[in-house]
Structure 1
Amino acid sequence: MAAHRKPRQRSLGGHTVRTAATLALAGAAGATAFEGAGIAAPQATPAQVKAKVDKLYQEAEAATEKYNGAQEKATATERRLKGLQDEAARRELRLNTTREALGNMAAAQYRGGGLDPAMQLFLSDDPDAYLDGAAFAERAGDRQSGAVARVREQVREVEQLRGAARVELTSLKKRQAELRRHKKTIIGKLGAARDLLSRLTARDRAEFDDKETGGGTGPRASRGSTGARDALPAVGSATAKAPNSRAAEAVSYAYSKLGSPYVWGATGPNAFDCSGLVLASYRSAGVALPRTTYAQIDAGRRVSRSELRPGDLVFFYSGITHVGIYVGDGKMIHAPNPSAPVRVAPLDEMPFAGATRVV
């Protein structure tokens, strides 16, 4: 019978420990290198950063315009609802007055005695007069009943309209909440983009800033830079070429707001979004415009790019999500995005979608 010897346990010291440690460290290093290779992204170029930020800005502005439109509809619905409530209150007051009159009539009839009409006719000193009076009372009662029925029907109609308005308002508020959540998501993406910008080298950041400002049409240019490419048409020249005095006034207002900050949903006087700047500029000239870009494009006569004159509204992107005010020489004044104030920019900065002459 063969002897079974117990295997000798090796000491975990010396060469064995060093070998195990070396292998463990090598494995850990290899795993780290592999994982790093799997998650590490190459450094984004300024052009890539700009493309991502521009996309985020466009998405945020599209959401803002939808939000502005929903808010406008909600305001109109609330106004309509108040009108319905006021009308219902007036009709209910008339109904109560009618009910009170009917109650008084019923009480008088009761006090006059609950005699059978045939017996009253038999006892009457003037049967002909009684019959005439009874017929009149019946007709009056019919008219009164008809009036009450009509008022009640009107109240029911008002209540139905009020209910419909409440449903519509609830729907719009839900839509606004969804848009606010969407905007919150966009703002989160913008925060990530800002974080990405902060990691650029000083040289790359300078290149990004140059691309962001269009080579000199950004915030610095909005205050009167003298560069050939970013020269802003003089306000006097722009207003002189406007098609009429109201367009000239709108252009003048836009010039006065250069450098104002971009704020979601703002319509002035100290901050604006893109359609808010257009709204405020024409409001200063006594012209009421719709709130949103996709409604503003239909607020006047469409003109071609070759026909543009100062004061015309110029629109961008296929969804009509951005707008500016043309000031001449192929340039506009607009409220770009949260990273740039109201400024002058070339029309070629974004995909041109159309133009409208308001007045």
Structure 2
Amino acid sequence: MTILTAAAATAVALSAQTSANAAPTTTTGQAKAQVDSDRNAAAAATEQYNGAQVQQQALQKKVNNLQDEIARQQAVVNKEMAVLGSVASAEYRQGSVDPAVQLMLSTDPTEYLNRASDEDQINSNQAALLDQLVAQQHSLAAEKAEAAQELGAQQVLLKQMQKSKAAIAAKLKHAQGILDALTPKQRVEVNAPSGGGGYTPPSSGSSYMSVSDIDLSGISATARTAMLAAMSKVNVAPYVSGGAGPNVFDCSGLVMWAYGKAGVSLPHYSYSDEHVGTGVSYSDLKVGDIIVNMGGDHVGLYAGNGMLLSAPHPGLTVDIQPLSYFGSIVAIRRF
């Protein structure tokens, strides 16, 4: 009995010590705030990735054009060198090669012009051909230098993309770690859409507003087509970084895809959406207008009644939520 009593006392002491050293229990509200913060940060990093990708694609197109121009100019230079070579061959068959022609065939024909003492050293045809060759070689060297510079910029953007991608993965991993430590009931509560501005989500579904409540009257045919496309994805298509449809989306990917259905080509980048279409004021808001907010990190389509149809962040599907949830408006654009 003495031994058992001692063992029990020890167990109680250890239990008390463990409780004292244990980390404070995270409330559902705290977990939700952290998970939402991580997911919003991941969504912001996604737009940084999208922006770098858009720039990288533009640079790639420019580099491709430069390389085509370099190849064209190289062909011209090669042709002109071949002409000089034929002149040299003809003179060789006649017994000697004019020193002027030998110099023109040197690796640096500019040297010839610098050393030529007077115009009598070369005939007019040779002088014209050499001038053209020198100009082509200078142009070719400039194109090669520009291409090298653009390729360097490309490498910088690729590193930026990798950094943004790593940030996305880190934030989502941290959020998932928090979710894994919760009960199934808590996970449901944490994954529910956040209600900014005092709004609370409905008892069923994830949206604050039904697509059937969206009034499409009085808007352009372009905006109507885009809205119908986006509305078909509400509560269906999940947020995925880099997603641009038809079944997964990030915020700018959804807007790009929806307006693409209306024949409008948009960039896959929320910051670029600040400049598309025509700017309108908040007082003139109409359904289908493109709204950029969260400092430029988010973009969606106005659904009316103070609501935004968008792909909010990882963990949610395309949704309709209060504009107030997404902070101040940066730009409103219309087609």
For this structure pair, what is the TM-score category when the shorter chain's length is used for normalisation? 0.7 to 0.9
- Aligned counterpart, 1:285: 262
Matched, 1:52 2:34: yes
- Aligned counterpart, 1:89: 71
Structure index of larger Rg: 1
Spell out the pairing of 1:209-358 with structure 2 (5 A cutoff).
212=194, 215-216=200-201, 220=205, 230-235=209-214, 237-238=215-216, 240-242=217-219, 244-258=220-234, 259-317=236-294, 319-358=295-334
Whether the aligned pair in 2 keeps the contact of 1:262 and 1:337 (CA below 8 Å) is yes
In 1: Cα distance, 2:203 partner to 2:262 partner: 26
- Aligned counterpart, 2:149: 164
- Aligned counterpart, 1:191: 176
Shift in CA distance, 57/219, structure 1 to aligned 2, threshold 3 Å = farther
TM superposition shift of 1:160: 0.5
Whether the aligned pair in 2 keeps the contact of 1:74 and 1:172 (CA below 8 Å) is yes
Spell out the pairing of 1:51-200 with structure 2 (5 A cutoff).
51-114=33-96, 138-196=123-181, 198-199=182-183
Query: With CA pairs under 8 Å and 6+ residues apart, which has the higher RCO, 1 or 2?
Result: 2
User: Gaps (5+ residues) in structure 1?
Assistant: 1-14, 118-133, 223-228
Superposed CA offset, 1:196-249 (max 9, x none): 4x326x3x5565466647633598255xxxxxx6344545x32x132x221222
Shift in CA distance, 340/24, structure 1 to aligned 2, threshold 3 Å = closer
Superposed CA offset, 1:54-85 (max 9, x none): 11111001100000011111111111111111
Q: Which moved more, 1:347-356 or 1:86-95?
A: 347-356
Superposed CA offset, 1:101-132 (max 9, x none): 10110121222233999xxxxxxxxxxxxxxx
Number of aligned residues: 312
Letter aligned with residue 254 of structure 1: A
In 1: Cα distance, 2:260 partner to 2:45 partner: 24
Shift in CA distance, 209/23, structure 1 to aligned 2, threshold 3 Å = closer
Whether the aligned pair in 2 keeps the contact of 1:219 and 1:341 (CA below 8 Å) is no
Letter aligned with residue 324 of structure 1: G
In 2: Cα distance, 1:314 partner to 1:151 partner: 49
CA RMSD in angstroms comes to 3.1
TM superposition shift of 1:338: 2.6
User: Gaps (5+ residues) in structure 2?
Assistant: 100-118
Sequence identity, in percent?
30
In 1: Cα distance, 2:289 partner to 2:177 partner: 36
Q: Provide the secondary structure at the position in 1 that maps to 2:123.
A: helix
TM-score of the aligned structures, taking structure 1 as reference length: 0.77
Shift in CA distance, 212/114, structure 1 to aligned 2, threshold 3 Å = closer
In 2: Cα distance, 1:255 partner to 1:322 partner: 18
Whether the aligned pair in 2 keeps the contact of 1:300 and 1:356 (CA below 8 Å) is no
